Each structure stands twice: as structure tokens, then as C-alpha cells.
Amino acid sequence: MASILVINGPNLNLLGGREPDQYGYRTLQEIMEELDRFAGACGHELRHEQRNGEGALVDIVHQAAVDGVDYIIINPAGYTHTSVVLRDALLAVGIPFVEVHLSAVHAREEFRQKSYFSDIALGVISGFKGESYMLALQ
Ligand code: DQA
């Protein structure tokens, strides 16, 4: 059994109503409930956290190491393109992680095409709306 932590960054609490053309119509809760069911059916333990602040996200990554989390699935949201500190936190704990995006970041504005996480991630899933999380979990 693996312990898996899903971490969601800023503004993802607004999913469902936020730019649905980019991010889909499902709420974060709906997406996380589906993930939880699938993980449970496969015999894995899944938890999820969402924060809007960078420091709070860093604290969650640190706590994941204390808790013995095996894998992280993370959507750093806007911090994808800016956050050295969140990158450093993931490097510090050394927990393998998958980077997830609902939208197809490489087909959007140029500033979204730079990620501080992709080169240290196990893999990157982008563009499948809520399904991106399920693909990462699989
Ligand atoms: C996002 C893409 C980011 O560029 C954006 O800032 C987000 C969400 C995505 O899931 O597609 O907030 O990470």
C-alpha cells in the first residue's frame, strides 16, 4: 500500500466556476472524491490538500516527509511558473512527484510554458482537465 498526497495550489479551490474552457466544469471536491475512490479500490491511501499561499504549500511538503508519504501528485497552479521555494521544498524532501495541470499549459501564454517542476518530476500530465489527476494517479 502506498501513501499518496495530492497537493493543489492557488485558485484551484474555485474549480467548477473558474474559466471552465481551460479548467473544466468539475469542482475540486468532485475530482478529489473520484481520485479517492480509485486509490482506495487499488488499496492505496490518498489524502489531498489545497492552499492559496506559497508558504502554506511549502509547510505541506515538509509535513509529507514527516508523515512518510510515498508519492506526491501536485498541481502548483500559478506557482508552477514562479516558485523556486516550492521546487526547493520538493527537492529537500525527495518524495517522488507527478506534476499535473488541468489545462494544456504548452498551448497557452508563453509565461505558462516555463515550469520550475518539470525537470525534477517523475512525469508531467497536462491538458486533460480533471482527468489529468486520474492519469497521474494511475
Ligand atoms: C494550471 C495552469 C497554471 O498556469 C495556472 O496558473 C493555474 C492552473 C492548470 O492546472 O492548468 O492556476 O496549473
Q: Which residue is catalytic, options 48, 71, 101, 133?
A: 101
3-state secondary structure 86-138: HHHHHHHHCCCEEEEECCCHHHCCHHHHCCCCHHHCCEEEECCCCHHHHHHHC
- What's this model's pTM, rounded to 2 decimal places? 0.98
Q: Catalytic site residue 79? A: no
CA-nearest residue, atom 2 of ligand 1: 77
Provide mean pLDDT across the span 23-27: 97
CA-nearest residue, atom 12 of ligand 1: 77
Assess whether the C-beta atom of 75 lies below 6 angstroms from ligand 1. Answer: yes
pLDDT band at 83 (very low <50, low <70, confident <90, very high): very high
CA-nearest residue, atom 13 of ligand 1: 77
